[in-house]
A and B are shown apart, each in its own frame.
Chain A
Amino acid sequence: MTKKTYLAAINEALAHEMERDENVILLGEDIAGGHASSGGPGKVGGVFGVTSGLYDRFGPERVIDTPISESAIIGAANGAALTGMRPVAEIMFVDFIGVCMDQVYNQAAKFRYMFGGKAKTPWVLRSMIGAGMRAGAQHSQTLHPIFTMIPGLKVVMPTNAYDAKGLMIQAIRDDDPVVFLESKLLYQTEADVPDEAYTIPFGEAEYVREGDDVTIVIMGAAVLHATAAAETLAKEGIDCEVIDPRTTSPLDEETILESVERTGRLVVVDESPPRCSLAADIASIVADKGFKSLKAPIKKVTCPHTPVPFAPTLEDAFLPNAARIIEAVKEVKTYG
């Protein structure tokens, strides 16, 4: 077991599966990089280096650089998956999904149902999410709610390097289209990651921290703020349980409901705007199925209903942070 970054863990997962199954191919923009350049292909490995080294190791037939044509990328992943391949297609920043959404939500997500259970579309759509890098409104969104509401898709949001590797291997082996959302703020975070291949099943939440006073459900990079908030609160005698669903579709409702049954209080932290968000979804599930457990109103800590701003002062104010989580926890503690 060695310490590895979240980024390296994903790279390792891709390499494991490409080694194991020759039907696994990578498609995307600049995942190799450098074609038709004076320096030759393979020198880029993705804008942040997630696919680094894979072109040299697996060659141009397995690591396929595409034009900047997102509809053709996901369309090609669809056609390849329907005919026996297991493509892992990269949409560089999740914001770019707007130019290829038809191939995701009208095509891949529906093939199996529309075709009466006869089709399988085993692809993984890798994409980056998250604000905090001063990247502006079109390179910073966290759009998991958009995918989560679409039947036929599965949605994965790893929060640490260990999960990133296990969930990616699971995603590649899964026979359904899986949207795998990588938090760019987490790429350099480290965890103990086994060298060998392993899988983490979808729909199984993880306890990031155990506690009996307040349940905090987090997604993606919000884990950083929630754990910091929980440490501070522990010093003040408030013991928070931090739950990471790991996949938003399927969603492990059971673990969340069980925790709220013990704590009676729920704060949901979600780095997306508040309306029709996962925070709203989880709050509604608990209000419906866990009503009797609740001792206080459910609090949501989300971004405001705005695009992601550029100026550092504005972006910092936009994102959920430890102070806002602490405030929400203290507020729910004032009840009952």
Chain B
Amino acid sequence: MQLQLSREELVRAYRRMTSIRQFEERIEKEFALGNIPGFAHVYLGQEASGVGICHDLTDEDWIGSTHRGHGHCLAKGCDIQGMMLEIMGKAGGLCNGKGGSMHIADFDRGMLGANAIVGGAPPIAVGAALTQKLKKTGRVAVAFGGDGSSNQGTTFEAMNMAVVLGAPAIFVIENNGYGEHTGADYAVGCDSIADRAAAFGMPAETADGANFFDVRDAMARALERARSGEGPYTIVTECPRYLGHFVGDPQPYRTEEELAEARGRDGLKDFRARVTEANLLSDADLDAIEAEIAREIDEAVAVALEAPFPDVDALETDVYASAY
């Protein structure tokens, strides 16, 4: 496992994981207060997975995300303020309030969009990867999905087509144990999701989704293969899911023991233990990052609560790019 990252890189990784943790805890709170329309699916427990995957990606690499996409956006560098505005449905949000929690995209950050359709992103990522291959950019496209999406035909089609076309696509299956309210052990018919991906003819491996370094190492292998033109790769990250399918899900299907076990797997604590033990960052360094993020999120929430909703004039705009 490679702990040999620069101090700046370690700080960036912890900042992003902390941003996701605090952002999602705040979403849970603001949702309960009635400040978020609709519904929200949070990424709590999976921070190390998204941040480990995105750590070595640039703004010119692409990701496609899921309904549980806030973490992927933040891991890819999307703006906290723009996201908070969007999730509250406010003007000035990343998608001007027309997308919401499940449809955040930021093309300047290589973020092709959260996707509310399970299995929606993998075929799209193959296309984004095809562009990189045809234009010889050396960049890649990542499709995030969950254990639920690993059962979708669209994922199978995308995996096969990426192999056939030699596209630099990286499939990341975050197995958080549940597809909505049904356990993966029930709905995934094989023992190993990675084995299933490998059967399409690409390397596939499983990483600890609560360990940033383990995920990043796996991603380094995937990136090396994809960037050198050898084609796709699959990484399955085994992640805990702290909350229910959506914020407010009472989870009658999970025992207290199971929830406690899930919460015992904490990617932020794991990161802290490893970097402090190796004297790479101090507890004080990490505490300072947490305090800084807390201020940033407080400010983002305050601004978003005050911001106006989009004017109704926006109802019929943005349907077409060319004349209609």
Contact = CB atoms under 8 A, between A and B. Distances in A.
A151 B131 contact: no
Contacts of A203: 324
A175 interface: yes
Interface string B127-138: 111111011000
Interface string A18-38: 000000010000000000000
A80 B128 contact: yes
A157 to B, nearest CB: 17
A111 interface: yes
Contacts of A115: 95, 98-99, 103, 105, 107, 113
B157 A84 contact: no
A116 interface: yes
A79 B127 contact: yes
A165 interface: no
A75 B164 contact: no
Interface in A64-103: 64, 66-67, 69, 71-85, 87, 102-103
A112 B141 contact: no
Contacts of B117: 102, 106-107
Which of A79, A80, A87, A115 has the most B CB atoms < 10 Å from its CB? Answer: A79
B131 A116 contact: no
Contacts of B113: 111, 114-115, 119
Given A116-B93, A120-B321, A175-B321, A81 B127 contact: yes
Nearest to A117: B318
B307 to A, nearest CB: 14
A186 to B, nearest CB: 26
B153 interface: yes
A66 B322 CA distance: 29
A118 interface: yes
A189 to B, nearest CB: 29
A87 B127 contact: yes
A320 B120 CA distance: 39
Contact of A67 (B131, B153, B157): B157
Interface in B77-103: 93-99, 103
B135 to A, nearest CB: 7
Contacts of A106: 117, 120
A202 B322 CA distance: 10
Contacts of A116: 93-99, 318
B105 A79 contact: no
B99 A114 contact: yes
B123 A72 contact: yes
Nearest to A103: B123
Given A72-B157, A85-B134, A114-B103, A79 B126 contact: yes
Contacts of A118: 95, 105-107
Contacts of A111: 105, 113
A175 B125 contact: no
A66 to B, nearest CB: 6
A152 interface: yes
Interface in A182-227: 201-203
B127 A76 contact: yes
Given A67-B161, A79-B64, A112 B320 contact: yes
B232 to A, nearest CB: 12
Contact of A176 (B62, B130, B131, B321): B321
Contacts of B135: 84
Contacts of A288: none
A82 B164 contact: no
Contacts of A81: 127
Contacts of B129: 79
B160 A112 contact: no
Nearest to A201: B323
Given A80-B130, A80-B131, A117 B124 contact: no
B95 A152 contact: no
A246 interface: no
Nearest to A75: B123
Interface in A34-80: 61, 64, 66-67, 69, 71-80
Contacts of B128: 79-80, 82-83
A113 B318 contact: yes
A297 interface: no
Interface string B263-307: 000000000000000000000000000000000000000000000
In this complex, which of B115, B124, B135 has the most chain A Cβ atoms within 10 angstroms of its Cβ?
B124
Given A69-B161, A72-B158, A82 B124 contact: yes
Query: Among the interface residues B134, B153, B320, which one has the most CB atoms of the partner chain A within 10 A?
Result: B320
Contacts of A67: 157, 160-161, 164
B319 interface: yes
Nearest to A61: B134
Contacts of A77: 127
A78 B123 contact: yes
A154 interface: yes
B3 interface: no
A250 interface: yes
Given A79-B141, A84-B131, A115-B103, A152 B320 contact: yes
14 contacts: A66-B164, A71-B158, A74-B123, A75-B122, A75-B158, A76-B123, A79-B127, A83-B112, A103-B123, A107-B117, A116-B93, A116-B94, A151-B319, A203-B324
Interface of B: 62, 64, 93-99, 103, 105-107, 112-113, 115, 117, 120, 122-132, 134-135, 141, 153-154, 157-158, 160-161, 164-165, 317-324
Across chains A and B, which 10 residue pairs bring their CB atoms closest together, nearest first?
A75-B123, A79-B127, A116-B95, A116-B96, A117-B318, A76-B127, A175-B321, A72-B157, A79-B128, A69-B157
Given A69-B157, A71-B123, 5 more contacts: A72-B126, A75-B127, A76-B130, A78-B123, A119-B113
